[in-house]
Amino acid sequence: MLVSPILITATGGMICERSGVVNIALEGLMVFGAFAAATAHFFLEPVLGPLSVWVALFIGALFGMTFASIHAFASISLNADQTVSGTGINLLASGVTIFLSQIFFKQDRTKQFMLGMMPGPGGIYPTAWIALAVLVIAWFILYRRPFGLRLRACGENPQAAASVGINVLGIRYVAVLASGFLGGLAGSCLVLTTNTQFNSTTVNGHGFIALAVVSFGRWKPLGIAGASLLFGTALAFSIIANDYEILRHLPKEVFNIMPYAITLLTLVIFSGKNYAPLAAGKPYEKGSS
Amino acid sequence: MAEKSLKKRKSFRDLLMTSDGAISVMVVFLGFLCGTILILAVGRNPVGMYKAILQVLTGFNVDRQRFYVRYIGEWLAQSMPLILCGLSMAFAARTGLFNIGGEGQYVVGLTVAQMVALMGPQVPVLHWMLALTLAMAAGACWGGIVGWLKARFEVSEVVATIMLNYIALYGSRILIMRIPGTNTYKTPDYPTTALLDSSFLSRITHGSTLNLGIIFVLLSVLAYWFIIEKTRLGFGLRATGFNKEAARASGIPVVKSIALSMAIAGAFAGLGGGIVALGSFKFGRVLANNDGYGFTGIAVALVGNNTAVGTLLAGLLFGMLSSAQPLMESNRIPKEITFIIQGLVVVFIAIRVGFRIFLKYAASKKAKRETQDNE
C-alpha cells in the first residue's frame, strides 16, 4: 500500500535520470497528482461510482505530467540548473494545490470523498499490481527495445548519442514527461489508498524517499524494487508500530524518524555516486563536445 | 537615427545581460504579474493583494485612511528568520552546495533554544545569549553532518538535508515533550530572563512582536559579507564553489571547506530558529509540522543571488509577502498566492540562464536585420 507509490515514483525517477535529467521535483509531482486525483474523485464519485477511482488515477497522472513539462522546458530547452528548477516545482506544488483547494473547497484540504480504492483479493490493493506492471513495462522498454537503449545512451554520453543521430533533447523530454506521469500516478495511488482527502501532509517526503530509492537501487529496475520494499516497509512500520505492546514504550516519533534515518544510512553506506548515469544533471548543448 | 535607437536598446539589454540584480528584480516583477493574473483568473480582485502589501510596508490602511505602525514591526519581525535562512542557503551556495536543510537546521536551533530557556540558568541577558549561542552551535552541527557526509562519502546533500529535516522535526518533538510540564503542543512559559523582548522596540511599533533579534540579524548579514568577501576562509570557499578541482590543486582543503561551509550555513539557520523561539513566543512549542522558513529561505537566497545585501532585501520582500497574508485573507485573496509567487520566482530564476540565451538570440537577430537593412 505504501510501497507502490514509492516504487512507481522511483521508476519514473529512474527513467528520467537514466536519460540525463535530474528530477528533484518528484515530490512536487506526487503532490500535484495526489491533489488532482482527490479533487477529481470527489467530483466524479457521485457520477461514476467505483469507476471514478480509475479515472481519478489517470487525471492525477496527467496533472503530474503537465507540471513536469515546466521542469522539462526549463532544464532541457533553457539549460537551467536542474536542481533549482526541481526545487521550484516543489515550492510551486505546495502553493498551487492549497490555493486551488481554497478556491474549490474553501479550505486548506480537499473535501473528503466517500470511498477510496478498496483492497482486492488477498487484501492486496490494485495499486500493487499497477506498480508491478509499471516496473515490468519500464524494464522491458529500457532493456529490450531500441528506444530504451537510446534513452540510456543519452544519460551516459549525450554527445556520442547525438553523433549517431539520436535526438537527445527529444528523448529527454519524453523521459521527463514520463516521470511526471508516473509521479502523478503515484501521488494519486497514495491519496486514494491511504486517505480520504488530500492535505499538505499527504505526500510527506515520499517523493524524496523515492529519489533515495533510485540511488540505492543503483538506477536498475530490480534494485529499486528491492529498495522500495525496504523503505515502504519502514514507513508502514511507523504506522502499525502502535499495535505492538513492547514498542509502545518508545515515543511514537521514533518510528516516524525510522524511514528517513534508514534512507540516510543507506545513502551513506551505499554511496552510489559512481553508479549514476554519467551525464545526469548536466545540460546538453547541441554541437558542443 | 537608427544608431541612437540601437544604443538605447543596447544599454537596457546589456543591463539585463550583465547584472544579476536586474534579473532578480525582473523575476520578482514577473512573479507578481503572474500572481495578479492568477487572482484575476479565479475571479477575485487583485487590488486587495496590493492594498495588503502597502499596509504592511507603510502601515497605511487605504480603506480606513489611518496609519497602523504595528504592521511595519510585524513585517520586520517576520523577515528575520527569512533573512537568516536565506543567508544559510546562500552561504552554502557560494561553496557550490545546495543546502535545502535550512528547515531542519532551523528546527534544531529552535529546539535547543527552547530547552536552554526552560532549563538554563535564569540570569538576565546571559540567559538568552546562551540560548542563542547554543542554538547556533546546534544548527552548525546539523549542517556540518551533511557537509561531512558529502565531502567524505559523496552523499548528495540534497537528499541528506531533506532526510535530516524530517529527522529534526520528529526528534524535536521527542525532546521537547520530555520537558516536565509539557502537554502535546506547548511547554510551560519561559522565565522572563530568556525572552528576547525589548520594551523600547515594542513601544515604537505599538505592540508588534519585533524584538532584539533584529540586532543579530543585522550582525549576521554583516558577518556573512565579511566572511565571504574579506577572509581567507571565504576566498577558499568561493574558489571551491567555482571549481572544486582547481581549488584542490591550489592547496585549498576542499573536504574541510565543504564541511565548514555547511556548518556555518547551519549556524545561520539555527540562529533563526533560536530568535523565533525566544522572540515571537512566550512558551516553547511542540512542533506539529515545519514552520516553513527554511524552505522559503531557499527562494530568498535565489532572488538575492547569494549576496549579503541581496539576501537582506529579498528576505524583506518575502517577509512582506508573508506578513501581508492575514490582511490578504480579509480582502478575500487566498493567502497561498504568496507561496505561488515564491514558487514562480524560483522557477523563473532557474531559467535566468535561458533568459540570457533568449536575449542574446534576440540581439543577434536584430543585428542581423540591421546589417541587412544597411546593405
| ipTM above 0.90 for this complex | no
Rg (CA), chain A: 19
Lowest mean pLDDT among A30-34, B106-110, B196-200: B196-200
pLDDT tens digits for range B64-99: 777 777 788 888 888 899 999 999 999 998 888 888
Query: Which grid coordinates are listed for B131?
Result: 540560548
CB contact under 8 A, B163 and A263: yes
In chain B, domain spans: 78-315
Give backbone dihedrals phi and psi of B221, rounded to 5 degrees, phi first: -60, -45
Question: What band does A248 get if pLDDT is binned at 50, 70 and 90?
Answer: low
Q: Is A191 exposed, middle or buried (0-12, 13-18, 19+ CB in 10 A)?
A: buried
Averaged pLDDT score across all residues of chain A: 78
Question: How confident is the model at residue A223, as a pLDDT?
Answer: 82
Q: How many CB pairs under 8 A join A and B?
A: 138
d(CA A152, CA B93): 30
pLDDT confidence tier of residue B53, bands split at 50, 70 and 90: confident
Q: What is the pLDDT of residue B358?
A: 67
Q: Is the pLDDT of residue A122 over 70?
A: no
Confidence class for position A289, pLDDT limits 50, 70, 90: very low
Query: Whose CA is closest to B35, among A55, A96, A35?
Result: A96
Q: Report pLDDT for B90.
A: 92
pLDDT for A112 equals: 65
CATH code for the domain defined by A3-275: 1.10.3470
Query: Is residue B268 very low, low, confident or very high in pLDDT (cuts 50, 70, 90)?
Result: very high
Nearest-CA residue of chain A relative to B343? A92
Q: How confident is the model at residue A77 (pLDDT cuts 50, 70, 90)?
A: confident
SS3 for B297-317 is HHHHHHHCCCCHHHHHHHHHH
Q: Which of A199 and A214 is assigned the larger pLDDT?
A: A214
Per-residue pLDDT tens over the stretch B345-369: 777 776 665 566 666 677 777 777 7
List, for residues B161-189, the tens digit of each pLDDT value.
888 888 898 888 888 877 777 777 777 77
Whether B193 and B277 have beta carbons less than 8 Å apart is answered as no
Query: Is this prediction's pTM over 0.90?
Result: no
- Taking the C-alpha atoms of residue B23 and residue A122, their distance in angstroms, rounded to an integer, is 58
pLDDT for the residue A242: 60
Higher local confidence (pLDDT), B117 or B222: B222
Q: Which of A23, A24, A27, A99 to mutate to test the interface with B (most CBs of B within 10 A)?
A: A99
Contact between B247 and B240 (Cβ < 8 Å): yes
pLDDT above 70 coverage of chain B, percent: 87
Residue-level pLDDT at B270: 92
Measure CB to CB from residue A251 to each of B155, B158, B174 and give the nearest one: B174
Across A74-83, average pLDDT:
74
Position B160 pLDDT exceeds 60? yes
For residue A103, the chain B residues in CB contact (below 8 A) are: 42, 334
Average pLDDT over residues B6-30: 66
Average pLDDT over residues B277-301: 79
Which of A24, A249, A257, A275 has the highest number of chain B CBs within 10 A, making it the mutation to test binding with B? Answer: A257
The rounded percent of chain B whose pLDDT value lies above 90 is 11
Residue B265 has a pLDDT of: 93
